[in-house]
Amino acid sequence: MGTEFDRSVWQGRTDPEINSDRWHQRIEPLTDQAIPGCALIGFASDAGVARNRGRVGAAEGPTAIRQALAPLAWHRHNPAYDAGTVHCQGDGLESAQQALAERLVPILDAGHLPIVLGGGHEVAYASWCGLASHLARAEPCPRVAIINLDAHFDLRDHAHVRSSGTPFSQIAEDCQSRGWPFHYACLGVSRSANTQALYERAATLNVMVREDRDMHFAALPALQRDLNAFIAACDHVYLTIDLDVLPAAEAPGVSAPSAHGVSITLLEPLIETVRDSGKLRLADLAELNPTFDLDRRTAKVAARLIHALTLNG
């Protein structure tokens, strides 16, 4: 079900100058004695994508992201760790999600910032379960801001089939069963890729929605203001990034490439807004499919976003 730290995927150039380290030189395996830092953990699954009739191949995403992150310049103050990878065997989605959730709890308990590398967006439900288990030990009713950068709501009915298209309806149900509020923002939504029923469900759940066509530079100050207000109403933040929120030219290697999308030049300042809130507890990236990744563009974008997310750590 799982593999440990693999040094062989962390390769890159070594420069002779002082203060010229790169990620591959600083990454270390996560141990029980590790001081708090960011902890990468892979979720090698595309069972949810297959159930959702998408392009399979996302199970290879964690390795591709690590390889793209390895040569990037190191600008962190705190350490970074690799906690290995949880592997989904065949169609065993639910058991893989449970395994990831269980792996995340001690990482969160130790004060690390986990960054989960997907894998299909079914990773979101596993990430949530790990975070919820961690928070439930100390708080009776935590307020968690769930921020999803995504072309899709992923609010489909999960009564019969759970997939990469259902994680946030599953999370909403879990919040209801716990008596917790459901605070969900979905930014980058494509109207052409989401049915009227999904828009109605989002309205019923009071989801904060921003469509891709409304996310441009002139709107950035308002987007940041709205995002800050959304975060201010909560105690914790869970950030999840579906790489299909990006335009297909920037992220061709995903399950469902976007015809419009939101450029990385706009996503980065929004991610920095989340990062700088001081409330971020967990993040994940989903849907990287190396099979279709022309010139490794999507992997490089994913690595860049992780770099931005952890820059001040």
* Domain extent listing, the chain: 2-309
Identify whether the C-beta of residue 126 lies closer than 8 Å to the C-beta of residue 286. Answer: no
Identify whether the C-beta of residue 313 lies closer than 8 Å to the C-beta of residue 38. Answer: yes
Binned at pLDDT 50, 70 and 90, residue 313 comes out as confident
Strand, coil or helix: 236: strand
Fold of 2-309: Arginase; Chain A (3.40.800)
Q: What is the CA radius of gyration of the chain?
A: 18
The tens digit of pLDDT for each residue in 24-60 reads 999 999 999 999 999 999 999 999 899 988 889 999 9
The residue with tokens 């449970």 is: 98
**Token pair for 215:** 């996310």
The residue with tokens 């990287």 is: 288
pLDDT, the chain, mean: 96
Q: Is the pLDDT of residue 312 over 90?
A: no
The tens digit of pLDDT for each residue in 110-156 reads 999 999 999 999 999 999 999 999 999 999 999 999 999 999 999 99
Query: What pLDDT, on a 0 to 100 scale, did the predictor assign at position 249?
Result: 96
Query: What pLDDT, on a 0 to 100 scale, did the predictor assign at position 5?
Result: 86
How far are the Cα atoms of 59, 125, 168, 249 from residue 287, in angstroms, in the given order? 9, 14, 15, 15
Identify whether the C-beta of residue 132 lies closer than 8 Å to the C-beta of residue 250. Answer: no
The residue with tokens 């469900």 is: 201
Identify whether the C-beta of residue 186 lies closer than 8 Å to the C-beta of residue 148. Answer: yes
pTM of the full structure: 0.97
What span, in angstroms and rounded, lies between the C-alpha atoms of 80 and 187?
Answer: 28
Task: Give percent of the chain with pLDDT exceeding 90.
Answer: 94
Cis peptide before 2 (omega within 30 of 0): no
What span, in angstroms and rounded, lies between the C-alpha atoms of 250 and 296?
Answer: 10
What span, in angstroms and rounded, lies between the C-alpha atoms of 265 and 63?
Answer: 25
Query: What pLDDT, on a 0 to 100 scale, did the predictor assign at position 2?
Result: 65
Q: Is the pLDDT of residue 187 over 70?
A: yes
